[in-house]
Amino acid sequence: MGFTMGLNLLLLLAMVATNILSLYHLSSNIQQPNNLNPSSNPTQNQVPDYLIHQLQTIRATINHLTRHHNHHPEQQHSKPTSMPSDLILYSQLSPIASSCHNNPELLFTYMNYTPFTLCPLGSDDVVEALILRGCHPLPRRRCFSKTPQKPSSSSLPHNPFPPKLLDEVVMWKKYSSCKSFDCLSKLNPNMGFDMNNEVSNFLSYKSELDLPVPQLLQIAKAANSVIRLGLDIGGGTGTFAARMKLHNITVLTTTLNVVAPYTEAVALRGLVPLHVPLQQRFPIFDGVVDIVRCGRAINRWIPSATLEFLLFDVDRVLRSGGYLWLDHFFSKSVDLDKVFAPLIGKLGYRKVKWATASKTDSSGLKNGEEDFIERITSVQDLKTCLFSL
């Protein structure tokens, strides 16, 4: 509170000083008689160098204070004193994302380490915080990340639906709520860590909103389309990718380790996790993916402009004739009609399936979502409409 008031006072004093100097210069010019002699010295009415220097200094101070004042409140209490040497070195070798520069305290903490030694404790928390703020890709570092002991070859399952996930291959110290997968499963069975529950997902209908993988493959076969490669956005512990793997289909799963080891869980199942945020461009080339599934991380809480960019990036990576699947997307019914349906319609895809239902869980009822969609299991046949025009 006091720090913010101090910044406001400095800004006010700087602006007042600028105005006083400007008035002084104008009044001094007015008091000088106009010299109409063309042979007179043309430089006599120019602004003095010392005055220009003072104005530039004050304006630079205003700009600096304004930038500092606009930072997040939590960033105003600690100001980095010096730039880490490896951050300076890396910035000379490769560009750093602009969002990283918008979070200098976190970036300095991330890059403040001793080269060729173990990375500092707590680095993972800083990594997640930076990625969530759009700082991606992160700068590379020259330190050793601490990893669990090497597991035996027999302990790593080839079956993507093992009886249980191994606790030994996770660094549990960085997670405060639980120290085992069993604990996470008991804390919330819907988090995806209970393999006994996950083994039945995507196999059969549990509601009209579901789309079992056998039906998905039948839809593709009937359309003479082939599904070989896929992307699962916000795929949790990778159950969709695991189910598709049993059909020799490779699916990459985007993950973030928010409060739980989702990335490690995906890898434990023999699947490929992509540790990337939703707001960044997918690290996939154009037109090479057969199907993109958007999990429950894609919902009404994402601003419509951000969602629009995300869907058009999905369109970029999908090949002609591919499929977009918005799985259990939820929103207010009025927003579905006025915001999200028109937004999705901009893609011009042909609807293969569109199912809606009321969202009746405690969250839906609390937020007035009884008419929302857990909805759109809408697999959309991509670009077919475009090619038929």
Task: Give per-residue pLDDT as tens, 64-102.
Answer: 545 544 444 444 444 455 788 888 888 888 888 888 888
Mean pLDDT within 247-268: 94
CB count in 10 Å sphere of residue 202? 20
pLDDT at residue 38 greater than cutoff 50 = no
Confidence of residue 232 (pLDDT cuts 50, 70, 90): very high
pLDDT at residue 267 greater than cutoff 60 = yes
pLDDT at residue 296 greater than cutoff 60 = yes
Best-predicted range by mean pLDDT among 25-29, 42-46, 98-102, 305-309?
305-309
Is-contact 376 298, C-beta < 8 A? no
pLDDT at residue 276 greater than cutoff 70 = yes
What was the pLDDT predicted at 388? 19
Give CA–CA dist 329/21, Å, rounded: 59
Give Cα 30 to chain centroid, integer Å: 57
Reported as type and span, the H/E element at residue 201 is none
pLDDT at residue 312 greater than cutoff 60 = yes
Give CA–CA dist 232/295, Å, rounded: 7
Average pLDDT, the chain: 78
Alpha helices in 293-346 (DSSP H): 304-317, 333-335, 341-345
pTM above 0.75, yes or no: no
Residue closest to 297 by CA, chosen among 241, 253, 261, 265: 253
pLDDT at residue 143 greater than cutoff 90 = yes
Is-contact 135 106, C-beta < 8 A? yes
Is-contact 320 287, C-beta < 8 A? yes
Secondary structure in 3-state letters for 300-314: CCCCHHHHHHHHHHH
Q: Which domains does the chain have, with CATH numbers?
A: 95-144 (no CATH), 172-384 (3.40.50.150)
Task: Give the three-class secondary structure for 348.
Answer: coil
What was the pLDDT predicted at 17? 58
